Amino acid sequence: MKPGMWSSFLIELSPEEMVRTFADKGWRRLELSDEHAEMLLQRPNPSATGETFRSFAADNGVAFPQGHLWLTCDIAAGNQDEVIDTLRQWLDLFCAVGIRAAVLHPGGDELIRTGCDAGRLMETRLRALGALTDHLKGTDMVLCLENIPDTAPEADDLCAIIEAADSPHLGICLDTGHLNLASGDQASFITKAGPLLKALHLADNDGSGDQHLMPYGAGTVRWDEVFPALKQIGYNGLLNFEIPGESRCPLPVRLAKLDYLKVITSLIVA
């Protein structure tokens, strides 16, 4: 398990400036955020842009094994065909960047709000996931479905989707903060996900909202359960921090927090 950081911890920087700054602080493995991916997608030709950016990052000793796909999309919404077409462009970019674990929300907000039954919700999700995993055939990328409190809060929910979809291109991303707003049972989630767990969003909160804080602070996530469980299942992806709640401060303070997090991570994996 290697430390990783969500790239929008440095959200005000361009993708290239972000890479250089993380490299200067010794952070070599990152999650490409939705925001920085959007910046790259403003450039022509997602595949060519991704290859150029991957080369630039490699020249600076940085890699992006993980990335977050379009944050606000709902793959089960009424404009599903449009969402799928757009996500194909994101996947082309991510493949070219070298991302292997692409985090995706399982969708369903719109259907759940309208009282849709579980069967139709599953069918609609599977249609989108089928199209997206077909697009990934011949690649080593895995779409990592993230636990979302209002739509798919627990490992059982995500495992059911993946079992029904029956594709090697699907896995799970555990967001510890999201789970703390649901059952909070981190060890059980990790154990149930098992080898399907391919990505992490490590963040803390006090149970009142998704505050995205660093571990071992004011939050109530049971970190003493998280890391032993990850070791038990042999998780080998990024120990990736997604902590926008820690970025509301001047850049020099954030850079100091990066130093602190490296120390914390070294103690976690010892």
- In the chain, the amino acid numbered 131 is A
Would you state the pLDDT for residue 270?
67
What gap in Å lies between CA 117 and CA 269, rounded to an integer? 43
- Where do the domains of the chain lie? 2-268
Q: Are 155 and 185 in contact (CB under 8 A)?
A: no
19-63 pLDDT per residue, tens:
999 999 999 999 999 999 999 999 999 999 999 999 999 999 999
Q: Are 239 and 3 in contact (CB under 8 A)?
A: yes
Which stretch of DSSP H or E encloses residue 185? none
- pLDDT of 245 > 70? The answer is yes
Residues linked to residue 29 through DSSP beta bridges, in sequence order: 63
Distances (CA, A) of 64 to 38, 52, 100, 198: 15, 13, 8, 14
Would you state the pLDDT for residue 30?
98
CATH superfamily of 2-268: Divalent-metal-dependent TIM barrel enzymes (3.20.20.150)
Would you state the pLDDT for residue 241?
97
125-158 pLDDT per residue, tens:
999 999 999 999 999 999 999 999 999 999 999 9
> Which band of pLDDT confidence, cut at 50, 70 and 90, is reported for residue 240?
very high
